[in-house]
Amino acid sequence: MAVIIDGKKISQEIRSELKIEIEELKNKTGSVPGLATILVGDNPASQSYVASKLKYSEELGMKSVLEKKDISISESELLDLIYKYNEDPAFHGILVQLPLPKHISEDKVIEAINPAKDVDGFHPVSLGNLVIGKDTFYPCTPYGIQELILRYKIETKGKHTVVAGRSNIVGKPIANMMFQKKEGANSIVTVCHSAAKDLSEYTRTADILIAAIGSPKFIKEDMVKEGVVVIDVGINRIDDPSAKKGYRNVGDVDFENVEKKASYITPVPGGVGLMTVAMLMKNSVKAFKRINNI
C-alpha cells in the first residue's frame, strides 16, 4: 500500500515556518510582505481561491489587499491598476486571478506585472529563468509539487519522470523544473499529452508520474508500473448524489486502484491543491526579501 503524501500537513508546516520568518522580518525591517490580489468578475472557483489566499496571508501577518473589479472593466483600466501596484512600495507581490474575461489579454496582463513582484511565477522573465536554471519565482503549483517531493525525501536523481499534460500553469514548468541539476530534480523527463496515440505507453515507464490532464480518474491501475510515485494535480468535479453538495472533487488518477501499485501517492483533495497557496505565500516572502536586499 502506498504512502499517502499529505499536502495538508506539509502546507501547514510551511505556513508555520513562514509565520516565524515574517515576524523576524518585521522586527528587522519594521515592515511585512504585502500582497495585492486583483479579481475580475464573479467566477465562483476564483472567488473561493482568492478568499483562501487572503485568509492565509492575514494569518501569517502579511499586508493583504483585494481589488475586486466588475467583469466590464476595460483592459487599459486593469493595466493601470497593475502599474499602480508596481509602483507601490508597500506591496511586494501582485497576483491577478485567472481566468480573465475574453476582452482582456491574459498575456498583456501577465507581462504588465513587474517581474520583481511576479509571485505567481507566470511572467516570461520568471519562466525564462526557470528554463535556464536560475533562481526565480516558480509557478505555485509546480513549486508545491517539488516541495512535496523534497519533504518526503523521494529520490529523483536519474529517475524517469513522466508529466502527463503540457499546460503553461503546470505541465511545462514542472517538466522544466524536474530536469534541472539540483536536489528534488535531476531526473530524465518525458512530457506526454493528448496527441499521443496511447498515453499508457509513456505512463507505464514512469518512476514518477505527474498527472495534470484535467480528466477525472483518467490514469488507471494498468497504466502505471509497480512502485511508481504518483503526483495527482487534477481537480475535477463529478456528480455524487450521496454528497451534501451533490458533487465531489476527484483527481486525474483513479486513486483507489492506482494506490495499490504506487509507492507514494497524493490524494485529491488533500494533496497538491493545498500546496499552491502555501507556495504563493513563500514566493511573497521571497519577493519582500529580494526587494529589501535581505
| E strand or H helix at 70 | none
Annotated catalytic residue within 120, 207, 252, 254: 120
CA distances to 5, 6, 144, 266 from 151, in Å? 10, 10, 10, 13
Cα separation of 262 and 256, whole Å? 11
Whether residue 108 lies in the annotated active site: no
CA distances to 169, 186, 253, 269 from 214, in Å? 12, 26, 10, 14
Burial bucket for residue 164 (CB in 10 Å: 0-12, 13-18, 19+): buried
Whether residue 146 lies in the annotated active site: no
Whether residue 53 lies in the annotated active site: yes
All cell numbers assigned to 30 = 519594521
Annotated catalytic residue within 97, 207, 261, 286: 97
Enumerate the active-site residues.
53, 97, 120
